[in-house]
């Protein structure tokens, strides 16, 4: 794929992020992010990225940072877990399918851009954010730049490719499921990770 085609693909995805059902831009500004908790995924020995619980103003964010050569495998695993959590007929299944499809689109575009660069770094960097306030919830998926210090990813910039609003019931529950899986705690105990605001359990 030529450089122009990759650019067109990325711009098309970025354009989708500006559509009517996208998240408000203010919820995507990460300048004052407060990282409440973070962990390597799937673990420190097999690390492909990190999952973080983040406070962003009034919003709670469950942020997944991926920096890996095996992105298709990681995205497939995300899809497998999502399908298991939201089987056919379950409330939230439609939102889950939109969530997974957005991640797959972004992963394909980012891999194509990586292959076009041919700069020797085979890792693809993708950021996935579930963002929630009491009024709105949704998804941002994109890429990030930065460094890694003492084994911890240090993002210095994020470039959203796509955003979408999703049902709060789906996002709130999925945030808790992602935290429980990443931090290896029961869903009922994710509250001890830090302030969960609008996604706090009953």
Burial class (CB in 10 A: 0-12, 13-18, 19+), 184: exposed
**pLDDT band with cut points at 50, 70 and 90 for residue 32:** confident
Count of the separate structural domains present in the chain: 1
Tell me the residue range of the domain where 89 lies: 3-15+23-199
| Residue 202 pLDDT | 67
pLDDT above 60 for 12: no
CB 66 within 8 A of CB 132: no
Burial track 21-55 (b if 16+ CB lie within 10 A, e otherwise):
ebbeeebbebeebeeeebbbbbeeeebbbbbbbbb
d(C-alpha 53, C-alpha 108), whole Å: 26
Please state the pTM of the whole predicted model.
0.88
Spatial CB neighbours of 181, under 8 Å, sequence gap ≥ 6:
81
| Residue 21 pLDDT | 64
Give the CA count within 13 Å in the CB-facing half-sphere of 103: 27
Question: Is residue 18 within a helix (H) or strand (E), and if so which, with residue range?
Answer: none
d(C-alpha 102, C-alpha 100), whole Å: 5
Residues 13-26: tens digit of each pLDDT: 444 333 336 888 88
**pLDDT band with cut points at 50, 70 and 90 for residue 183:** very high
In the chain, what's the furthest Cα-to-Cα distance?
51
101's tokens: 């499809």
Residues 115-150: tens digit of each pLDDT: 887 777 788 999 999 999 999 999 999 999 998 888
d(C-alpha 39, C-alpha 152), whole Å: 9
């Amino acid at each position: 794929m030529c450089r122009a085609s990759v650019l067109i693909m990325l711009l098309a995805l970025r354009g989708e992020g500006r559509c009517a059902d996208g998240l408000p831009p203010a919820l995507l500004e990460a300048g004052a992010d407060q990282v409440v908790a973070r962990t390597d995924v799937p673990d420190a020995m097999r690390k492909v990225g990190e999952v973080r619980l983040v406070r962003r103003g009034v919003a709670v964010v469950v942020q997944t940072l991926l920096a890996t050569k095996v992105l298709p495998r990681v995205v497939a695993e995300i899809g497998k877990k999502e399908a298991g959590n939201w089987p056919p007929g379950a409330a939230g299944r439609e939102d889950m399918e939109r969530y997974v499809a957005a991640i797959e689109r972004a992963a394909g575009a980012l891999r194509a851009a990586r292959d076009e660069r041919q700069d020797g770094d085979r890792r693809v960097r993708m950021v996935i954010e579930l963002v929630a306030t009491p009024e709105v919830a949704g998804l941002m998926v994109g890429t990030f730049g930065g460094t890694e210090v003492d084994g911890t990813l240090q993002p210095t910039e994020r470039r959203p490719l796509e955003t979408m609003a999703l049902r709060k019931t789906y996002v709130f529950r999925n945030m808790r499921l992602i935290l429980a899986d990443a931090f290896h705690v029961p869903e009922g105990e994710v509250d001890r990770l830090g302030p969960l605001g609008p996604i706090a359990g009953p």
